[in-house]
Amino acid sequence: MKNVVLSLMNRLSTRALAGIVIYLFCVQAFGQVAGSGSAMLMPSPPQLAASSYLLLDAHTGKVIVEHNADQQLPPASLTKIMTGYIVSSELTKGSIRADDKVPVSVKAWKTKGSRMFIREGTEVLLEDLLRGVIIQSGNDASVALAEYIAGDEAAFASLMTQQAKLLGMSYTQFKNATGLPAEGHVTTARDLSILASALVRNFPNHYGLYAEKEFTYNNITQPNRNGLLWTDQNVDGMKTGHTEEAGYCLVASSKRNDMRLISVVLGAKSLRAREQETKKLLAYGFRYYKTQTLYKADEPLNVAKVWAGQEKQVALVLAEDLSVTIPRDQQDSLQANIEVDREIIAPVLAGKVYGQLNLSLNGELLAQRDLVAGVAVEPAGFFVRIWDQLILFVRGILGFTA
């Protein structure tokens, strides 16, 4: 056998022998040949031909991609997302009804730009006007609704700005209900993503309107300007916009399985470009990220000691489900750290905060949630309370902290 091995070695070149040595070294040092691992490769986020853009998960609020996301820009007809939001809010509160007949003023009738083609002096069902805003991007319909709800368009624009502040849209100000150019009428990609997420979350019964592909009024059928509704079965909204000042803009909402992404593209060069750039964002997000519920509400995450109570322990839970959006191959890198109050003394109130969960990924804090008592714990009898208080007193003197 020894002679056979020596014969084989004599036939190998010096370079071949060196290659074998390097191969064996790599296997021993790294456990596998480079490139044969199972980890998913993670490319850099796409660079879009647009002034500003952002991609986030609508459920967790995780921003996956952003560029100039806080730059104030004119939103054009993306403004109508807030117009629709206000109308949906008023419908939900019951202050207006879908079958209300809304009078059309001269101002609404004469409003320039994209139109629903309503006529001055007529009355239009509120539900039809809302479709005219969302599907046909009708400026005339937007003004008619604004006047019906707030008296005039300026007052309605004030409502829009107030609502924006309540939602946390810090860099947004509205001057009208249409998105027609006006000094100081600005928003940002980040603010629009907040608005779009709130619309999906708060008004699920009205959100279906944003997926409708066409609407007919006054014998005129107009298609939804969101072309992605025809080319991507996962896209079910939301709104397009275009003016010379704003360029071509698109806010899109797309859902695959249980993951919903919101993309915002502002200032693209053409109608086709805004759709292509949006597709790049959505494809990147769905391909390389996932949203997962890690902990359910009321699921015990820690059992803490209770002093002077009828029960010696209490389960600490989350008040709400905890979901995170992370790269697809990094779930095993998640780290959860639980901090519990040093001394929990009865009475323990159900729902009261007694600890904290810190969730991190590769050193970055992903989520921080309060841990609350899952059940109440009543105080124990007199002698148990006295004994436990004595123990706590002695522990304090001795410097015990746990």
CA distances from 213 to 201, 209, 221 (A): 21, 9, 10
Farthest-apart Cα atoms in the chain, separation: 107
- Active-site residue set: 77, 80, 137
